[in-house]
Amino acid sequence: MLFRRPPHPIEAEIPRLRRFALALTRDRETADDLVQDCVARALAAWATRRGDDAALRPWLFTILHNRWRTRQQREWARPDRISLEDAGEGPEVSGGQWEALELRDLDAALAKLPGDQRAVLLLVGVEGLSYEEAARVQNVPTGTVMSRLARARDRLRALMDGEPPQASEGSGRAHLRRVK
Amino acid sequence: MSGRAAAAITEADLVAYVDDRLSTERRADVEAHLVLNAEDAARVAAWQQQADDLRAHFSRESDEPVPAEMAALFAAQRPSVLGPVLRIAAVLALVLLGAGAGWYGRGAFTPAGVVAALPQEATRAHLVYSREVLHPVEVTAKEEQHLVAWLSKRLGTTLKVPSLSGQGFGLVGGRLLPASSGNHTAAQFMYENRQGQRLTLYVRSGESGGDTSFRFTGEGNAVAFYWIEDGFGYALTSETGRDALLPVARSVYEQLTR
């Protein structure tokens, strides 16, 4: 009788974990490092895990999110390094034309959102998590998930339309650019 | 809108509308609101377009192959995760063997007192190995002939491996185990269904109590059906509860006692 062992359930989630990590970090190497960390922890906790198959994805996302948070805190504690988000988005561009052109690109627009907003867009809009599940992953109330979604969508819309971005929840800095 | 008074539409309603998480009723309320409110309608339309774009954008990202070092985590899992469990199992087995050998001399006869009850020994083995992810068995079903010949030789009988495909279970493989009875060897065959549920058939030699009928034991979900025939003890164990295991156990019993 031939019966192939199916791959570990976590293995099938790796592509999703990688893109969630990428949405959080915006850097492939950092993202994969995060996924590596997440998977190792998930495997170590596997034997004691409670919950059915449907709960697997939110569980993994939560581990990954927690690892990201921990790393961010560590990063912030180091005076010689600041996170990309705090550092801003590279050289300031002047005027609206160039920016408008650049920001029509969805990827560039996403890059200007804070990690938590990119994450919630992905978790709810792409991965199909419920608001409650996304709230558990991000460790915030459900209402915050919904307002965060509204902020993220409005900001992304403004960026895609080439409008100056507005200050947004959780971004840690205000975007006060003068409207011409 | 119908005669029912609708609660004011909030931003959360608009968010949930775009994500399609509203009740049919509330959805209708939002749609009615959007007809009258151009600003919100434009906002929602932009959000919807954006959601489609994001899905397309992110779906491209998930096609990449898994890096080798991530895949390696699964291969390296056994020592880091189940190492301690296996060590405990090994120590337990040694303690049992030691007690038997030390107390009763060279183990020339089978002392009834230290022989662990068949279903308990089977269940213990089931709980240890059915949780194994990468190495649930020593020899896989790919080498079924070798597996059966090997375990038959070690147990001193001709083992038959029942087919449970009719119950949706495929053979994963089997392993040799220490036992507290007979020549201290037991065989475990593991089966798995498409939902990943596992059951194990445990066979050990040297049962001294005489044949028994088909019996059941268990607490909660960890259950076992067992019987003794011609000096061999058989136990089918799972964590699926009695009712789910019964038809499978009946099939095993019929195939093995036929």
3-state secondary structure chain B: CCCCCCCCCCHHHHHHHHCCCCCHHHHHHHHHHHHHCHHHHHHHHHHHHHHHHHHHHHHHHCCCCCCHHHHHHHHCHHHHHCHHHHHHHHHHHHHHHHHHHHHCCCCCCCCHHHCCCHHHHHHHHHHHHCCCCCCCCCEEHHHHHHHHHHHHHHHCCCCCCCCCHHHCEEEEEEEEEECCCCCCEEEEEEEEECCCCEEEEEEECCCCCCCCCCEEEEECCEEEEEEEECCEEEEEEECCCHHHHHHHHHHHHHHHHC
Same domain as B98, residue B54? no
Backbone torsion region of residue B137, taken as left when φ is above 0, otherwise alpha when ψ lies between -120 and 50, otherwise beta = beta
Residues carrying CATH 1.10.10.10, chain A:
91-180
Please, are residues B219 and B248 in contact by the beta-carbon 8 Å criterion?
no
Q: How many CA atoms lie within 13 A of B224 on its CB side?
A: 23
Please, are residues A137 and A123 in contact by the beta-carbon 8 Å criterion?
yes
- In this prediction, residue A160 has a pLDDT band, given cuts at 50, 70 and 90, of confident
Same domain as B216, residue B118? yes
Q: Which fold has domain A91-180?
A: Arc Repressor Mutant, subunit A (1.10.10)
**Single-letter code of the amino acid located at A38:** C
Q: Where are the beta strands (DSSP E) in chain A?
A: none
Residues carrying CATH 1.10.1740, chain A:
8-87
Same domain as B92, residue B204? yes
Nearest residue to B230 via CA among B150, B171, B134, B160:
B160
Q: How far apart are CA A20 and CA A138, in angstroms?
A: 12
Same domain as B211, residue B180? yes
Question: Could you tell me if residue B113 is inside a domain?
Answer: yes
pLDDT (tens digit per residue) in B228-245: 888 889 999 998 888 889
Contact A146 B74 (CB under 8 A): no
Same domain as B81, residue B45? no
Residues of B in contact with A47 (CB under 8 A): 81-82, 85, 131
Mean pLDDT, residues B220-226: 83
Question: Any residues with CB less than 8 A from the CB of B177 and at least 6 apart, and which?
Answer: B93, B125, B185, B186, B187, B188, B202
Mean pLDDT, residues B45-68: 83
**Of the partner residues A1, A6, A107, the one whose CB lies closest to the CB of residue B141:** A1
Q: What is the C-alpha R_g of chain A?
A: 18
pLDDT of A97 reads: 52
Contact B66 A14 (CB under 8 A): yes
Q: How far apart are CA B98 and CA A110, in angstroms?
A: 65
Q: How far apart are CA A104 and CA B179, in angstroms?
A: 69
Q: How far apart are CA B64 and CA A28, in angstroms?
A: 12
**Can you name the residues that pair with B192 across neighbouring β-strands?**
B170, B198
Percent of chain B at pLDDT exceeding 70:
80
- In this prediction, residue B134 has a pLDDT band, given cuts at 50, 70 and 90, of confident
- In this prediction, residue B31 has a pLDDT band, given cuts at 50, 70 and 90, of very high
pLDDT of A96 reads: 52
Strand B185-193 and strand B169-178: the pairing is: antiparallel
On whether any CB of chain B is under 8 Å from the CB of A5, the answer is: yes
Tokens describing residue B201: 């058939």
- Residues in B 41-100 with any Cβ partner in A closer than 8 A: 43, 46-47, 50-51, 53-55, 57-59, 61-64, 66-67, 69-71, 73-74, 77, 80-82, 85
Chain A nearest-CA distance from B103, in A, is 36
Please, are residues A35 and A21 in contact by the beta-carbon 8 Å criterion?
yes
**Of the partner residues A15, A32, A126, the one whose CB lies closest to the CB of residue B55:** A126
**Single-letter code of the amino acid located at B233:** G
Same domain as B192, residue B91? yes
Residue A175 has pLDDT above 50, yes or no: no
Residue B82 has pLDDT above 50, yes or no: no
Number of domains in chain B: 2
Same domain as B45, residue B115? no
Of residues B179 and B221, the one with the higher pLDDT is: B179
Q: How far apart are CA B236 and CA B238, in angstroms?
A: 7
Sign of the torsion angle spanned by Cα atoms A87, A91, A97, A98:
negative
Residue B68 has pLDDT above 50, yes or no: yes
Of residues B256 and A137, the one with the higher pLDDT is: A137
Please, are residues A23 and A116 in contact by the beta-carbon 8 Å criterion?
no
Burial class (CB in 10 A: 0-12, 13-18, 19+), B52: exposed
CA dihedral B52, B34, A144, A86 (to 10 degrees): 60
pLDDT (tens digit per residue) in B178-218: 888 777 889 999 999 888 889 999 999 888 777 888 888 87
Same domain as B139, residue B91? yes
Q: Which of A135-149, A158-172, B148-162 has the highest average model confidence (pLDDT)? A: A135-149
pLDDT of A5 reads: 47
Residue B88 CA to its chain's centroid (Å): 20
Domain containing B148: what range?
76-257
Residue B111 has pLDDT above 50, yes or no: no
pLDDT (tens digit per residue) in A58-111: 999 999 999 998 887 776 655 444 444 444 444 444 445 544 454 457 888 898
pLDDT of A73 reads: 75
Question: Could you tell me if residue B5 is inside a domain?
Answer: no
Chain A nearest-CA distance from B187, in A, is 18
Q: How far apart are CA A96 and CA A81, in angstroms?
A: 30
Residue A36 has pLDDT above 50, yes or no: yes
Q: Residue B188 — φ and ψ, nearest 5°?
A: -125, 125
Q: What is the pTM of this model?
A: 0.50
Question: Could you tell me if residue B98 is inside a domain?
Answer: yes
Residue B35 has pLDDT above 90, yes or no: yes
Q: What is the CATH number of domain A8-87?
A: 1.10.1740
Question: Could you tell me if residue B84 is inside a domain?
Answer: yes
**Of the partner residues A3, A44, A160, the one whose CB lies closest to the CB of residue B80:** A44
Mean per-residue pLDDT of chain A: 76
3-state secondary structure at position A180: coil
Same domain as B206, residue B134? yes
Mean pLDDT, residues B34-48: 95
Same domain as B129, residue B36? no
Of residues B66 and A40, the one with the higher pLDDT is: A40
Of residues B52 and A97, the one with the higher pLDDT is: B52
**Can you name the residues that pair with B171 across neighbouring β-strands?**
B191
- In this prediction, residue A154 has a pLDDT band, given cuts at 50, 70 and 90, of very high
Same domain as B223, residue B185? yes
Residue B2 CA to its chain's centroid (Å): 52
pLDDT of A131 reads: 96
Percent of chain B at pLDDT exceeding 90:
34
Question: Could you tell me if residue B69 is inside a domain?
Answer: no
Contact B46 A149 (CB under 8 A): no
- Residues in A 101-160 with any Cβ partner in B closer than 8 A: 106-107, 110, 121-122, 124-126, 130-131, 143, 146-147, 149-150, 153-154, 156-157, 160
pLDDT (tens digit per residue) in A108-119: 889 889 989 999
Q: How far apart are CA B8 and CA B6, in angstroms?
A: 6
pLDDT of B244 reads: 87
Q: How far apart are CA A121 and CA B51, in angstroms?
A: 8
